[in-house]
Amino acid sequence: MIGVFDSGVGGLSVLREMRRLLPQADLVYLADQARAPYGERSLQEVRDFSEAIARYLISRGSAPVVVACNTASAAALRGLREQWPGVPFVGMEPAVKPAATLTSSGKVGVLATQATFQGELFADLMARYGNGVEVLTAACPGLAALIEDVPPDDPAAADRLTGHALPLVAAGADVLVLGCTHYSFLQNALAERVGPGVTIVDPAEAVARRVAAVAEEAGTADGSGTTTYLTTGDPVRFARQIEVLLSERVSPEPVQL
């Protein structure tokens, strides 16, 4: 079984790609909606939440565990790997490396939560791949929470994301990196608003490819092809969100951590 978690629905963008690449794998997705959004929590809180979720998913036999949340990856991924060295973890990181190869202006914009920019992972990412390009950042407070509440075709969320993106474009960024899995559901709407001269990079597919490779090594790539949905919040609300975002009718299970 492959375990996947996020603060809410954002990680479903990664799950969607995983389901496409790993149709036979058994997946369990946990949305920590009772404590979302993570982006406005302290890094220590996010570490504590992530450890509790990882412990739960591992107890259910998950390997690998996919941290399908940029904020949780930035805050907790290193600690999770240290705490469970025998469990493979796959995390999210803003796609600065591929963006650096795509830019013509030498300027790349990253849209994410403030907590993502504060985490060790982003600092390490900049040290490894930020040389040679100017990385412009924009924190988007409240946006992940808004995406939890409105359907992806509602212009409110896309307009807010665009409002954060346009100053980066005006400053010369010709590549925009979606540094929060929630923002993936707004990729097409953002592309329409910023125009064809700006490339938008969403790491969901690349992360899913990495998960597929790790699952093959762990022997969890083949199963019965089931997906179990769990939430610490309201299962009825989560079911409606899954139907809107993934066009699936499911019955999520409540879980307490």
The catalytically annotated residue of 54, 75, 158, 180 is: 180
For residue 189, give both structure tokens. Answer: 């709407």
Reply yes or no on whether 180 is catalytic.
yes
Distance CA 175, CA 201 (A): 7
Q: What is the number of residues in the chain?
A: 257
How far CA 28 is from CA of 10, 17, 229, in Å, comes to 15, 14, 6
Reply yes or no on whether 140 is catalytic.
no
Cis-peptide, bond into residue 254, ω within 30° of zero: no
Contact residues for 253 (Cβ-Cβ < 8 A; gap 6+): 228, 229, 230, 231, 235
Packing angle, helices 70-83 and 120-129, rounded to 10: 100
Distance CA 5, CA 10 (A): 9
How far CA 222 is from CA of 59, 83, 95, 121, in Å, comes to 19, 27, 28, 31
Distance CA 2, CA 89 (A): 10
Exposed, middle or buried: residue 102 (CB in 10 Å: 0-12, 13-18, 19+)? middle
The catalytically annotated residue of 1, 14, 69, 139 is: 69
Packing angle, helices 43-59 and 70-83, rounded to 10: 60
How far CA 158 is from CA of 190, 244, 251, in Å, comes to 6, 16, 28
| Residues labelled as active-site residues | 69, 180
